[in-house]
Amino acid sequence: MGGATVGARLGRIFLPKDELLLAGISDDDIFNGKVTDNWRAFMKGQIKRARGFLDEGKHVINELEVDVRWAIWTGLLLYMQLLDGIEANDYDNLTKKISLGKGKMLLTALLGYGKSSGLF
């Protein structure tokens, strides 16, 4: 199951209700894992917004205390890759699980360390 359906299986939807309604997406659509054109358009907008927030955050990470930079850089890079995965799955995070794998996560952690210490 995809990330969005984990909450749906628990009877919860962690997405902006007003934006779902504007996009023509009902709770039942999500609970039933319907990946429609409306869902794809909605997710494109959510991903664009998320990337904007992540891009804004990049500029202040190295101003944080040194002992938290690595974790923050790693998290940011992992979230960017998850967004890429949702796009690669044609915005189907209702029925398909996005997984990076241990190797990719380890490499991302190393890249996060490099960015946090100014190596790259």
**Neighbouring C-beta atoms of residue 11, cutoff 10 Å:** 8
Domains of the chain, start order: 3-116 (1.10.600.10)
pLDDT tens per residue across span 100-112: 999 999 999 999 9
| pTM of this structure | 0.85
Task: Locate 19 and state its tokens.
Answer: 């934006």
Nearest-angstrom CA–CA distance, 72 and 16: 25
pLDDT tens per residue across span 13-53: 999 999 999 999 999 999 999 999 999 999 999 999 999 99
> Do 47 and 80 touch, CB atoms closer than 8 A?
no
Q: For 26, which DSSP code?
A: -
Triad 60, 45, 21: Cα angle to 5° = 125
pLDDT tens per residue across span 89-100: 999 999 999 999
Residue 7's pLDDT band (cuts 50, 70, 90): low
